[in-house]
Amino acid sequence: MRRQFIITSVILIAGLIVISLFWTPILWTFIVIGPLSVIALNDMLQRKQTIRRNFPLIGNLRYLFESIRPEISQYFIETNSNGVPFSRQHRSLVYQRAKNELSTQPFGTQNNMYEVGFEWVNHSLSPTTVNPEKLRVIIGGPDCKQPYNASILNISAMSYGSLSKNAIQALNKGAKLGGFAHNTGEGGLTEYHLMHGGDVIWQIGTGYFGARTHDGDFDPDLFQKKASQKNVKMIEIKLSQGAKPGHGGILPAEKVSEEISKIRNVPMGKDVLSPPGHSAFTTPMEMMDFIKKLRDLSGGKPIGIKLCIGKRREFISICKAMVESGIQPDYVDIDGSEGGTGAAPIEFSDRIGTPLVEALSFAHNALVGYGLRDKVKVLCSGKIISAFDVIKNLAIGADVCYSARGMMMAIGCIQALVCNTNKCPTGVATQNPQLVAGLDVEYKAIRTASFHKETVHSVAEMLGSMGLHSTTELRPWHRMRRTDFTEIKHYGEIYPQLKPGDLLKEEIPKGWERAVLAASPYTYKNIDTGS
Task: Tell me the whole-structure pTM to 2 decimals.
Answer: 0.89
When pLDDT is cut at 50, 70 and 90, the band that residue 343 belongs to is low
Same domain, 142 and 57: no
* Domain range enclosing 8: 2-67
For residues 51 and 200, state if they share a domain.
no
**Same-domain pairing of 377 and 266:** yes
**Is there a domain that residue 104 lies in?**
no
pLDDT greater than 90 at residue 375? yes
Q: What is the mean pLDDT of residues 223-240?
A: 96
One domain, residues 60 and 147: no
Residue 113 half-sphere exposure, CB side, CA atoms within 13 Å?
A: 6
Check residues 508 and 422 and name the one with the higher pLDDT.
508
Poorest-confidence range of 291-305, 342-356, 437-451?
A: 342-356
Residues 385 and 407 sit within 8 Å (Cβ to Cβ): no
H or E element, residue 189: none
pLDDT number for residue 473: 98
Q: Do residues 23 and 161 both lie within one domain?
A: no
Label residue 234 by pLDDT band (50, 70, 90): very high
The pLDDT assigned to 135 comes to 97
**Do the bridges between strand 272-274 and strand 377-381 make them parallel or antiparallel, or are there none, so unpaired?**
unpaired
Q: What percent of the chain has pLDDT over 70?
A: 96
CATH number at residue 461: 3.20.20.70
Residues 181 and 263 in one domain: yes
Considering the domain architecture, whether residues 304 and 442 belong to the same structural domain is answered as yes
> pLDDT at residue 341 above 70?
no
Q: Is residue 479 part of a domain?
A: no
Predicted local distance difference test score (pLDDT) of residue 72: 77
Same domain assignment for residues 7 and 156: no
pLDDT band at 342 (very low <50, low <70, confident <90, very high): low
Phi/psi for 331 (5° steps) reads: -155, 160
Give the DSSP per-residue string, 251-313.
E-GGG--HHHHHHHT--TTS-EEE-SS-SS--SHHHHHHHHHHHHHHTTS--EEEEE----HH
Distance (Å, whole) CA 441 – CA 445:
6
In terms of pLDDT, which residue wins out, 232 or 23?
A: 232
Question: What beta strand segments (E) does 368-448 contain?
Answer: 377-381, 400-403
Number of domains the chain is built from: 2
| Domain stop point among 37, 67, 97 | 67
Q: What is the pLDDT of residue 134?
A: 96
Task: Tell me: do 27 and 150 sit in the same domain.
Answer: no
351: in domain: yes
- Kindly state whether residue 118 falls inside one of the protein's structural domains: no
pLDDT single digits (tens) 389-415 = 999 999 999 999 999 999 999 999 998
What mean pLDDT is reported for the chain?
Answer: 90
Q: Does residue 524 sit within a domain?
A: no
| Higher per-residue confidence, 15 vs 142 | 142
Bigger pLDDT: 23 vs 139: 139
User: Could you tell me if residue 481 is inside a domain?
Assistant: no
Final residue in a domain of this structure, among 20, 42, 67: 67
Looking at the structure, tell me whether residues 30 and 160 fall in a common domain.
no
Higher local confidence (pLDDT), 94 or 87 = 94
The confidence score (pLDDT) of residue 480 equals 97
Q: Pick the last residue of a domain from 67, 83, 116.
A: 67
Q: Would you state the pLDDT for residue 377? A: 98
By C-alpha distance, which of 358, 405, 524, 512 is closest to 167? 405
Give CA–CA dist 452/457, Å, rounded. Answer: 8
pLDDT of residue 154: 98
Q: Quick one: 148 and 59 in the same domain?
A: no
* 125 has pLDDT over 80: yes
In a domain, 92, yes or no: no
Whether 366 contacts 321, CB under 8 Å: no
**Per-residue pLDDT reduced to its tens digit, 131-160:** 999 999 999 999 999 999 999 999 999 988
- What pLDDT is attached to residue 383? 92
* Listed range (87-91, 97-101, 473-477, 527-531) with the worst mean pLDDT: 527-531
Model pLDDT for residues 32-50, shown as the tens digit of each residue: 888 888 888 888 888 888 8
Residue 486 in any domain: the answer is: no
Share of the chain above pLDDT 90, in %: 63
pLDDT (tens digit, 9 = 90+) per residue, 255-289?
Answer: 567 887 788 778 877 777 778 889 999 999 999 99
Pick the residue with more confidence: 88 or 75?
88
